[in-house]
């Protein structure tokens, strides 16, 4: 599958007293990566929610290889790993833009939920989304 690349710059508040990016912030970088991947395929997550569907993170995993520093430019490489009827898996590689060093590898599984029910039940993804995310 084709990999999407998103560039971002580390903010000061994303560092911690060890002088590197606090690990939880990589989940936000990964979220930004998949949002932009979807945008690039003509699929807006914001609009998806307005139409009554959400993609809720059900599972997340990360492996940290090297630290990212304040003000560094990072590349978030995102690709769709697998699309099923009611869920989708994304995988990520985050690298330092200047030299390509691998900083973090991650993956997330997202389940489609029906935002119009108060219980937010799992449901099938709209056909158009599966098409946009699939190959």
From the list 44-52, 76-84, 91-99, 124-132, the region that binds a second copy by CB under 8 A is 44-52
Q: Could you give the dihedral angle defined by the CA atoms of residues 77, 42, 132 and 86, in that order, rounded to the nearest 10 degrees?
A: 90
Q: Are 36 and 125 in contact (CB under 8 A)?
A: no
The residue assigned the tokens 């000061």 is 12
Q: Which is nearer to a second copy, 75 or 115 (CB)?
A: 115
Q: How far is the CB of 27 from a second copy (least distance, A)?
A: 4
Least distance to a second copy from the beta carbon of 130, Å?
Answer: 21
Q: How many CB atoms lie within 10 A of CB 5?
A: 15
CA 88/CA 42 separation, integer angstroms: 17
- Does 102 help bind a second copy (rule: CB under 8 A)? no
List, by residue number, the catalytic residues.
16
Give the footprint of a second copy on this chain (CB under 8 A): 11-13, 15-20, 22-25, 27-28, 31-32, 35, 44-46, 49, 54, 56-64, 67, 69-71, 115, 120
């Amino acid at each position: 599958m084709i990999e999407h690349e998103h560039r971002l710059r580390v903010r000061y508040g994303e560092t911690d007293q060890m002088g590197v990016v606090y690990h939880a912030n990589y989940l936000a970088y990964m979220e930004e990566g998949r949002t932009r991947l979807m945008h690039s395929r003509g699929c807006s997550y914001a609009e998806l929610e307005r139409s009554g569907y959400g993609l809720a993170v059900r599972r997340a995993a990360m492996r940290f290889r090297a630290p990212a520093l304040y003000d560094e430019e990072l590349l978030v490489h995102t690709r769709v790993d697998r699309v099923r009827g009611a869920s989708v898996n994304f995988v990520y590689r985050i690298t330092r833009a200047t030299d390509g060093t691998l900083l973090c590898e991650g993956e997330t599984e997202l389940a489609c939920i029906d935002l119009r029910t108060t219980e937010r039940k799992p449901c099938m993804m709209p056909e158009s989304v599966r098409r946009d995310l699939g190959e």
